Structure 1
């Protein structure tokens, strides 16, 4: 019967569907609006369309996840092409959309084109499209306006260079907990989202931090339309991993996102430097030159860049960081900049002074994370990550990591570089947050099966069906064991309990331990890990206190926020 229902739905034949149900129910049937009564039972009317007022979309149904509808590629802004390239996000022209669809139901059953990809791994980027400002929306089957379900707004990672939201699918999250709406956002990155030159203070030339402004516009679109999908715009949790977690942190310190979210989850916040536009100027010049735009004035350069073929820009954005490194330029990545308007101060500084959104927060990282290349020279690693550190600063860092405190030089390097650039984010955000709102921190401690150590993004493999992301928007999904699936369900339960109530414990799995609150006087955290005996019925997670030596080292790293520019 289920297969026949899905067939009818995919054909859009809702009248046939109701007739089919009425023929198969025992006894008499009565249509009650949102439900059909028959055979002494209530059956929900099934719909995979949503009318937003200006357009109607048809979402995807899948027998693998029969309680979930996915609406792929819903535009939230005008395409950032032509004269809008390198400019701030323009809100969606709904009148244009209405006119273009001409009353037709728009098919939203296939993933859209992802944004133009760069490369973190040395592979050539360039796949994707500039016309990519969309969201994917995952809803429980039958969700409707008035249900007021809480909303998870997810921002993918990828180092501000790459990423494809379909590589982190949420179907199984909804299937496990069909009482939330999940929105996954596409946004510009690389040169398309984070090109910067001091002249952008005049928007006639371009705009700083366009990729972040994409995310803000998507949040505004959610406020306007998520009710139509069954969501509650007053209960939005922003969440992200890596660059997505940095995005969440940045949204917490800006005054442009007030009222757009009420909770936050930040997984592995990379504490990278936020340079000034002046510090990014050399990268801009190298990029423009590589794209064939060698005009003397910035106005002429920008005209040339807007006229350039997207393939030339994609190649230039892959090559420019390498050229900048060869030329000895310390700021050699496309990333958010301290523009003085959207980002007025470094995030750590804002958090320490209490100038951030006071909302419930989950923040943490993986046990063995470092984003510094493993050359075992701590001084070189710190200097490459934080260009403004002086020799005196580096000596002060090194004094906190004496060799005798570590079981190998590799271990020492990993901790001494990993704490300043990612591991201390739990303390940097957690202590200030705990003064105003309920806060939970964690240490993720189960490796991706491909590795021995618990590296960056290990939990993403576990939470998203065994995904390993590849170049140019690709991914490989490795089958998971029953024990891994059970652990993933435990993680998802904590996360979605927080989305639903602001507390990860309310709807945790019965086997899972209670996750204690983090605060300065009692810095406890959850160690999230799979049961060592691979049991599906027993949790391997447990609470621990943050070790005092790490607390002291992180306090020093936090005190260096202005020098480290994070």
Structure 2
């Protein structure tokens, strides 16, 4: 067991599972429990402690209804949820680059304790790896109205938690061998959009220097939409949509009410955009904690000083269909309704049909929706950042695999275990099509090296993205860089327009 001395107190870690040279220090509180008098408030600093704290187990996860393979589930009464975990190959004085990971999960599920986020293999590349928990669902992203004379509860409490964790890293990471002057923040899916938000939030300025965004999702809510969600959730919970009413509902009751609202959208094909994949929470453009959608802000030059590395998967949305979280769009009429609900012109859908001859309607829907939510948004983050004068790199995950249950596509989330080097975790085998082969391990090694090099030097190993098009690294079991013009699908969006969405 190894002991580290921070300004808050001493902590003891344990040898990491995958590598005896890496020490894991788990479940360190970076902020006070956000419940009781602090519920719906901005995070407060955690208290210091006397003596030696044993940090060999993950902390409790945020309130949620999900039960994920290999990961702990939430139990009512768990309150010390704002914790970080550290994997380090070094100690005080080493000044290694730091990578801070923000998990995804549609802002309602997931945790830093998922096996695919084990930081040992990445730390073996010469990094100090930090993962964190933050408030999810209504606790983290629900809009809480303030009555006259009341102090406002901030929107985007989950993002404020992430900022508090980054402040903790700034103040304490040197004790674990990390360099607070070389911090990279990384995330996938909703975690990637959180990274993009942090890039443009004034409160996060200077807390990190590089950013990695895998499959950022196109969804930020104006206050009016967030307030409508609050009204729906409060009604489902049987309480008033006021601060007092919402505080009277327990976290468990608000989780159950949120699930009820989501289920109603899923069952109602005439409920508009939310019917297709009802993620009802997300960052709120409140004009204060988050002033505008991050893509708009990045295009205007916000966060220009932060180097950015972006990745998306080729077939993002096929995973959401495979796990049953998306609507089944199988007829031409349903496809036309979908396009109308999102304001997509008919020529866009017709363009996909022409590029996918013989494809069933469901595949056309999955391709269009995946590009709308993930591919186009992520790509535009990189291109807009470069156009505004920032340094950006773009890549695409294109690894596929056959299997007895059918092909495993280059879909959402499959890139994460490759980048973390966690391919042997049984919980990820559904994502990647079974145990890894030699070519998979070689691909994982290249992706880990790119992350480590980017965190250390700002250069992942391929040319920067230009103002409009540029080099795109293609992650596949055969190494290569795609020096190609904008692909045909992306050209359709350039001519048809690209709407920004609200959850």
Provide TM-score, normalisation by structure 2: 0.85
| Within-5 A mapping of 1:150-169 | 150-167=97-114, 168-169=117-118
RMSD value over aligned CA atoms? Answer: 3.1
In structure 2, the residue matched to 1:555 is: 494
In structure 1, the residue matched to 2:214 is: 267
Deviations 1:455-482 (A, max 9, x none): 1111123334235769xxxx99964333
In structure 1, the residue matched to 2:188 is: 241
Alpha carbons of 1:263 and 1:404: their partners in 2 closer, same or farther (altered >3 Å)?
closer
SS at match of 1:424: helix
Contact 2:414 2:432 in 1 (8 A): no
- CA separation in 2, counterparts of 1:150 and 1:524? 25
Correspondent of 1:312 among 230, 253, 257? 253
Mean alpha-carbon deviation: is it higher for 484-493 or for 279-288? 279-288
Deviations 1:364-397 (A, max 9, x none): 211111266441468856976996x44xx43353
Q: Extract unaligned runs of 5+ from structure 2.
A: 321-325
- CA separation in 2, counterparts of 1:385 and 1:188? 33
Correspondent of 1:229 among 161, 172, 176? 176
Q: CA deviation at 1:283?
A: 2.6
Correspondent of 2:262 among 321, 326, 351? 321
Contact 2:348 2:493 in 1 (8 A): no
Alpha carbons of 1:428 and 1:303: their partners in 2 closer, same or farther (altered >3 Å)?
same
In structure 1, the residue matched to 2:354 is: 403
Alpha carbons of 1:131 and 1:544: their partners in 2 closer, same or farther (altered >3 Å)?
same
In structure 2, the residue matched to 1:67 is: 21
- CA separation in 1, counterparts of 2:339 and 2:445? 35
- CA separation in 1, counterparts of 2:65 and 2:339? 20
- CA separation in 2, counterparts of 1:227 and 1:324? 47
Q: CA deviation at 1:341?
A: 0.8
Deviations 1:528-557 (A, max 9, x none): 1114xxxxxxxx333341434234234357
Residues 1:462 and 2:418 aligned together: yes
| Within-5 A mapping of 1:320-339 | 320-324=261-265, 328=271, 333-339=280-286
- CA separation in 1, counterparts of 2:208 and 2:238? 42
Contact 1:89 1:213 in 2 (8 A): yes
Correspondent of 1:77 among 13, 16, 31? 31
Deviations 1:102-159 (A, max 9, x none): x3211001122221223499xxx8547332100001100xx22222111101101111
Alpha carbons of 1:110 and 1:91: their partners in 2 closer, same or farther (altered >3 Å)?
same
In structure 2, the residue matched to 1:33 is: none
Contact 1:60 1:71 in 2 (8 A): yes
- CA separation in 1, counterparts of 2:480 and 2:377? 21
Q: Which structure exhibits the higher relative contact order, with contacts defined as CA atoms closer than 8 Å and separated by 6 or more residues?
A: 2
SS at match of 2:13: strand
Q: CA deviation at 1:203?
A: 6.5
Q: Extract unaligned runs of 5+ from structure 1.
A: 1-9, 11-47, 506-514, 532-539
Contact 1:448 1:462 in 2 (8 A): no
Alpha carbons of 1:183 and 1:163: their partners in 2 closer, same or farther (altered >3 Å)?
same
In structure 2, the residue matched to 1:13 is: none
Alpha carbons of 1:298 and 1:402: their partners in 2 closer, same or farther (altered >3 Å)?
same
Deviations 1:416-463 (A, max 9, x none): 222221111343112222232332111101137764321111112333
SS at match of 2:411: coil
